[in-house]
Structure 1
Amino acid sequence: MDRHAKPARWVAVHTHPHREHIAIENLVRQGFESYCPMIRRRVRHARRTSDVLRPLFPCYLFVRIDPESQRWRPIESTFGVRSLVRFGDQLGFVDNAFIESIKAREVDGAIVKPAEPYRPGQQIRIAGGPFEGLVATIISMNERDRLTVLMDLLNQRVRVQIAARDIATW
Structure 2
Amino acid sequence: MELHDTHLTLWRKQWLVVYTRPRWEKKVDRLLQMQGIEAYCPVKKVTSQWADRRKQVILPLFNSYVFVRINDREAYKVRQTLGVMNFVYYMAKPAVIQDQVIEKIKEYTHNCPDVEVVSLQEINSGDRIRVKKGLFFDQEGTVIRVQGKNVILAFDHLNCALVSNFPLSNVILNTIHSIPISFN
**Structure 1 length-normalised TM:** 0.63
Alignment CA distance shift 1:42-1:158 (3 Å): same
* CA distance in 1: counterparts of 2:14 and 2:86, whole angstroms: 17
User: Aligned with 1:39: secondary structure?
Assistant: strand
Deviation at residue 43 of structure 1 after TM alignment: 1.1
Letter aligned with residue 125 of structure 2: G
- Structure 1 residues 91-137: Cα deviation after superposition (integer angstroms, max 9, x where no partner): 111111110001112338x74539xxxxxxxxxxxxx6149xxxxxx
- The alignment-based identity, stated in percent, is 24
The corresponding residue for 1:65 is: 70
User: Aligned with 1:156: secondary structure?
Assistant: coil
Alignment CA distance shift 1:148-1:64 (3 Å): same
The corresponding residue for 1:113 is: 115
* CA distance in 1: counterparts of 2:69 and 2:33, whole angstroms: 11
Deviation at residue 40 of structure 1 after TM alignment: 0.9
Q: Is the 8 A contact 1:141 1:148 kept in 2?
A: no
User: Aligned with 2:103: secondary structure?
Assistant: helix
The corresponding residue for 2:162 is: 158
Deviation at residue 55 of structure 1 after TM alignment: 0.6
Deviation at residue 22 of structure 1 after TM alignment: 1.5
Alignment CA distance shift 1:148-1:8 (3 Å): same
* CA distance in 2: counterparts of 1:160 and 1:23, whole angstroms: 40
The corresponding residue for 1:75 is: 78
Q: Is the 8 A contact 1:39 1:112 kept in 2?
A: yes
Letter aligned with residue 158 of structure 1: L
User: Aligned with 1:113: secondary structure?
Assistant: coil
- Structure 1 residues 4-48: Cα deviation after superposition (integer angstroms, max 9, x where no partner): 645411000101111112211211121110000001112112332
* CA distance in 2: counterparts of 1:40 and 1:81, whole angstroms: 24
1:22 maps to 2:24: no
Q: Is the 8 A contact 2:150 2:167 kept in 1?
A: yes
* CA distance in 2: counterparts of 1:44 and 1:112, whole angstroms: 15
Structure 1 gaps of 5+ residues are 115-127, 132-138, 166-170
The corresponding residue for 1:48 is: 53
**Structure 2 length-normalised TM:** 0.59
Structure 2 gaps of 5+ residues are 117-123, 128-133, 138-148, 170-184
* CA distance in 1: counterparts of 2:37 and 2:168, whole angstroms: 40
* CA distance in 2: counterparts of 1:54 and 1:77, whole angstroms: 24
Across the aligned residues of Structure 1 and Structure 2, the Cα RMSD in angstroms comes to 3.7
